[in-house]
Structure 1
Amino acid sequence: MIKSYLNCTTYDWHRPITNGILLVNLGTPEAPTPKAVRHYLGEFLADPRVTELPPWLWWLILNGIILRTRPRRVAHSYQQIWTEQGSPLLKFSQAQAIALRQAVGTRFVVALGMCYGQPSLATALEELRQANAQRILILPLYPQYSSATTGAIFDAIAKIFKNWRWIPQLNFVTHYYDFPAYIEALAVHIQLHWKNYGTPDKLLFSFHGIPKRFAVAGDPYPHQCQETVRQVVARLALKEQQWQMVFQSRFGREEW
């Protein structure tokens, strides 16, 4: 079998080297329709990092049940939040990329890729290669690490680089849940919201959950979420009765 990298285009060694930043988010359907949602869920839920179940069993569940029943219901939910510019997640991710480009100027080339869907990671990395970015900072837009999110991004990028002849120098950010600037940004935005809309009786911190077996197996996600909340609460000087932390979006019947 001929390796795919034998005929791939590599970097231009005669051009100046640039530095790249790859922002990565989860992904989104291309449209709020059952067909588009089915395609997106088929890609997303086929990732073994997301479920950690025996492949044969999950294939039966995914193709025999989930992709037959969920797309229409999920498409209806997407229709409730879809904007004129498209998916809110894509819209705000693109806005983050634009803001970062403005902040770093010509020092870095910034690209945006999605782990599932479009713009793909392969497209984003090719954009950086075309810019001759031989040093790339990979920044998942997940402050807290989980195998199902940040780990999945690492796998997807590694799979892409298997087809590249020359691998650029990489710096992969696994988490920033307790980074002071991140904590400060959360606190400032909360205070700004309170200033504009009034202080509530209770501040609710809600994170996407993971199956309990992931945490038992050593996934640091719950701990990192708790630490983020602890630091924000300390920064805002909240009393115990003024805040609450919860997890949401349970999937299936197992304990989360």
Structure 2
Amino acid sequence: MVNKSEVGIVLMNLGSPDSTSVPDVKRYLMEFLMDKRVIDYSWLMRKLLVGGVIVPRRAPKSAEAYQSIWWEEGSPLIVLTKQLQKAVQHDMEVPVEIAMRYGNPTPEAAYDKLLQDNPNLKEVILLPLYPHYAMSSYETAAEYAKEIYRKKKYKFKLSVIPPFYDEPDYINAIAESMRPYLQHENDYDYVLFSYHGVPVRHIKKGDITGKHCLQVNDCCHVKSPAHEFCYRHQVTITAELVAEKLGLPKDKWGISFQSRLGKEEWIQPYTAARFEQLPQEGKKKLLVVCPAFVSDCLETLEEIAVEGKHSFISSGGDSFTMIPCLNVHPLWVKAIVKYCSQIIAD
């Protein structure tokens, strides 16, 4: 067993531009969208598409969007991840650092900081802050951190915590963070679990059996080895477990997928479409929760709380509430401490 004094922890999140300036946003988007696990085309095709079309068009609009949600202390995602680091550190006897998949701080900076503080470091526990496995989220973060670990030839052991989409502590944290908004049944007509979307092609590509995902009726509920790497299955299970824990009636909640990029088919239903449809279905008081994001960021604070609310109200809705992400909820901090402590104990 490794001594606690020889262990360090890295909490790894998505990342953010260094500022809201167009050049910084361009730099961030280039790194993000050139990731072969985000847009899985050939390098040349990605370069032409991302560098020649997407980023030049998207960067100015994205910079405006970031400006609308930027905090005085900086990027909400970075600020909240630092707050999470501080909260976890308070309850852990081992040093805790943070890293981002894109932008700063890098995994290398986190590893080096841990080594600087403890030259006798024997093990680093990496927790990618993605509850669900997807090629473009959990996988790219974990593999990037591993790649840097190998390239720099660090001597410590790197242990990576797997996705925790169905872990009781995570489910309980989500449910309890939602509960204050559900005190009175008349306060809401519907709860929408909005997850970040992925292309249908990614779901099929990640199917290790080659014959299950989106090929078998009700594939998310038919047991299969494919589920270990299936984002669609995992987000479905998260929503069902949370809804069950909260006692939500089946007709008062649903799942949708946001942040679609490009023209190809992504997994459905689309969140943007549901915002327009729900008022027509008589669901005019809406609660939205985004369990795929553990920290509030552009996709929640602007895409959901601003754009989504405007779309829903404009379509005939009466009230719209986005439930904050877990951020530094005490039960979420407790869950992280438990996950990391279990690795240390082993």
Q: State TM-score, norm by structure 2.
A: 0.66
Name the counterpart of 2:247. Answer: 237
Once residues 33 and 154 of structure 2 are traced to their aligned partners in structure 1, the CA distance between those partners, rounded to angstroms, is: 31
Q: Which amino acid aligns with 2:231?
A: Y
Once residues 199 and 144 of structure 1 are traced to their aligned partners in structure 2, the CA distance between those partners, rounded to angstroms, is: 30
1:220 aligned onto 2:233: no
Q: CA deviation at 1:47?
A: 1.1
Partner SS state of residue 72, structure 2: coil
Name the counterpart of 1:186. Answer: 174
Partner SS state of residue 264, structure 2: coil
Distance 1:198 1:92, change over 3 A: farther
Partner SS state of residue 127, structure 2: strand
Q: CA deviation at 1:197?
A: 11
Q: CA deviation at 1:238?
A: 1.0
Q: Which fold has the larger relative contact order, with Cα–Cα distance below 8 Å and residues 6 or more apart in sequence?
A: 1
Name the counterpart of 1:13. Answer: none
Structure 2 unaligned spans of 5+:
208-228, 267-346
Once residues 232 and 145 of structure 1 are traced to their aligned partners in structure 2, the CA distance between those partners, rounded to angstroms, is: 18
1:146 aligned onto 2:134: yes
Name the counterpart of 2:84. Answer: 96
Once residues 137 and 129 of structure 1 are traced to their aligned partners in structure 2, the CA distance between those partners, rounded to angstroms, is: 13
1:119 aligned onto 2:129: no
1:49 aligned onto 2:59: no
Q: State TM-score, norm by structure 1.
A: 0.89
Among 115, 123, 131, which residue is 1:129 paired with? 115
Structure 1 unaligned spans of 5+:
1-15
Among 26, 35, 47, which residue is 2:23 paired with? 35
Q: Is the 8 A contact 2:5 2:94 kept in 1?
A: no
Partner SS state of residue 233, structure 1: helix
- 1:194-225 deviation line (CA, Å, top 9, x unaligned): 34998411111000000100101225111100
Partner SS state of residue 51, structure 1: coil
Among 160, 176, 189, which residue is 2:148 paired with? 160
Structure 1 residue runs of 4 or more that deviate by more than 6 Å after TM superposition: none
Name the counterpart of 1:252. Answer: 262
Once residues 159 and 137 of structure 2 are traced to their aligned partners in structure 1, the CA distance between those partners, rounded to angstroms, is: 17
Once residues 198 and 109 of structure 1 are traced to their aligned partners in structure 2, the CA distance between those partners, rounded to angstroms, is: 46
Q: Is the 8 A contact 2:128 2:142 kept in 1?
A: no
Name the counterpart of 1:9. Answer: none
Once residues 119 and 166 of structure 1 are traced to their aligned partners in structure 2, the CA distance between those partners, rounded to angstroms, is: 18
Once residues 152 and 101 of structure 1 are traced to their aligned partners in structure 2, the CA distance between those partners, rounded to angstroms, is: 25
Once residues 186 and 150 of structure 1 are traced to their aligned partners in structure 2, the CA distance between those partners, rounded to angstroms, is: 19
Aligned residues: CA RMSD: 1.9
Between the two proteins, what is the percent identity of the paired residues? 33
